[in-house]
Amino acid sequence: VSGILSSGEDITVRRHIGEALRKSEERYRNIFENAVDGIYQSSPDGRFVAVNPAMARMYGYDSPQDMLAGVTDIRSQIYTDSRLRAEFTNRLERDGSIFDFETQNRRKDGSTFWISSNARVVRNASGEVLYYEGTITDITARKQTEDALRESEGRLRKAQSIAHVGNWEFDLQTHKKWGSEEAFHIYGIEPIS
């Protein structure tokens, strides 16, 4: 043998790409695992494919794995009105995405709470629906505040009617008028809509 043949390859670029990919995956995993809102993927037939820890907690499950195993039919187990699941999926498939879809949902223990969901359809290259993915925010406190405000306004209207008093406002800049029903009744004019 009169010589040696060898070859070499500089793998520095490959190592840098691999390290960048690992860091990117770690960032994504941290966002998914530590998000305050629920993050999910669900199949068109009504099963969760993936949920983050916040979503599992929101629905009363001990872990994402517990929720994935426990929820076999989103329509009947999660929605308090199963018709809304059909509305949700129909709008998603028609429009490709949905924003601020508010529904009352059911937790593992049967208690209910309000959520707002943003979601989009993920399709394959031939246009078939692979899954839906989205976020869920618990809006129960907001809904309770809105209900309390409506009740308070109703009590005020009733009190004004009983006392035969009203209130009105006039915006000097916009010249818009607003008044209570009783104020318009007292003055014998039609309420402004």
Interval 58-64 mean pLDDT: 97
Mark out the alpha helices in the chain (DSSP H runs). Answer: 12-34, 53-58, 64-70, 74-77, 83-95, 140-163, 181-187
Tell which wins on pLDDT, 119 or 185. 119
- The residue type at 153: E
Please, which residues have CB within 8 angstroms of residue 43's CB and are 6 or more apart in sequence? Answer: 49, 131, 132
Band (pLDDT 50/70/90 cuts) for residue 192 is low
Amino acid, single-letter form, for residue 166: G
CA dihedral over 53, 40, 117, 73, signed as positive or negative? negative
> 116 exposed, middle or buried (CB, 10 Å; 0-12, 13-18, 19+)?
middle
What's the pLDDT band for 13 if we cut at 50, 70, 90?
A: confident
Partners of 135 in the β-ladder: 39, 118
57 and 66 Cβ atoms separated by less than 8 Å: no
* pLDDT confidence tier of residue 44, bands split at 50, 70 and 90: very high
- Among 14-23, 94-103, 168-177, the range scoring the smallest mean pLDDT is 14-23
Q: In what order do the strands lie in the sheet with 48-51?
A: 48-51, 38-42, 129-138, 112-123, 97-106
The confidence band for 11, taking pLDDT boundaries of 50, 70 and 90, is confident
Model-wide pTM > 0.85: no
- pLDDT value for 110: 97
Q: Are 131 and 49 in contact (CB under 8 A)?
A: yes
Nearest to 90 by CA among 125, 129, 126, 59: 129
Give the pLDDT band (50/70/90) at residue 68.
very high
Name the residue with higher pLDDT: 1 or 111.
Answer: 111
Q: What is the DSSP letter of 45?
A: T
